[in-house]
Amino acid sequence: MENLENFRPSEAARYLRISISQLWNLIKAGEIKTVKLSKQVTIIRRSEIEAFIERAAEVA
């Protein structure tokens, strides 16, 4: 995968190796924050994904 600063939700799910449904559940639970660029475009910053991975590693 490219070295992206921002991910679309499908790219973030692929990066985390989870389903898109699991990703949306994490977003709804407040575990991962998104940025709404427009009514139809949502992105997730790489820094947010990396922070989520670090938090998950601390719990495990």
Question: HEC states along the chain?
Answer: CCCCCEECHHHHHHHHCCCHHHHHHHHHCCCCCCEECCCCCEEEEHHHHHHHHHHHHHHC
pLDDT tens for 5-37 read 999 999 999 999 999 999 999 999 999 999 999
Q: For residue 2, is pLDDT > 90? A: no
Which token pair is 52? 């989520």
Confidence label for 60 from pLDDT (cuts 50, 70 and 90): confident
The residue-averaged pLDDT of 35-56 equals 96
Q: Give me the pLDDT at residue 3, please.
A: 57
The residue-averaged pLDDT of 40-58 equals 96
